[in-house]
């Protein structure tokens, strides 16, 4: 079990106000979000592989 699983679930993050942002700022923000999505997907993959390893260990 991962310690993150024991922490209480947090609510949805506050949405950023996009209105005052210029075009370049919006593009940079999208790039930042895409990087964060990729990082999150990598973490999901890592945790799924870990879980699969544990499932295989306990099903033997």
Tens digit of each residue's pLDDT (9 = 90 or more) over 1-40: 566 666 777 788 899 999 999 999 999 999 999 999 999 9
What 17-26 contacts at long range (C-beta under 8 Å, 24+ apart), as own/partner pairs, is none
The residue with greater pLDDT, 1 or 55, is 55
pTM: 0.67
Scored b (16 or more CB within 10 A) or e, 19-41 reads eeeeeeeeeeeeeeeeeeeeeee
CA angle 54, 58, 60 (to 5 degrees): 120
Q: Quote the tokens at residue 44.
A: 């999901």
């Amino acid at each position: 079990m991962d310690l993150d699983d024991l922490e209480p679930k947090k609510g949805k993050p506050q949405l950023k106000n996009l209105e005052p942002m210029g075009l370049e700022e919006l593009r940079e923000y999208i790039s930042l979000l895409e990087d964060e999505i990729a990082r999150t997907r990598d973490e999901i993959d890592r945790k799924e592989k870990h879980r699969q390893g544990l499932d295989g260990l306990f099903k033997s």
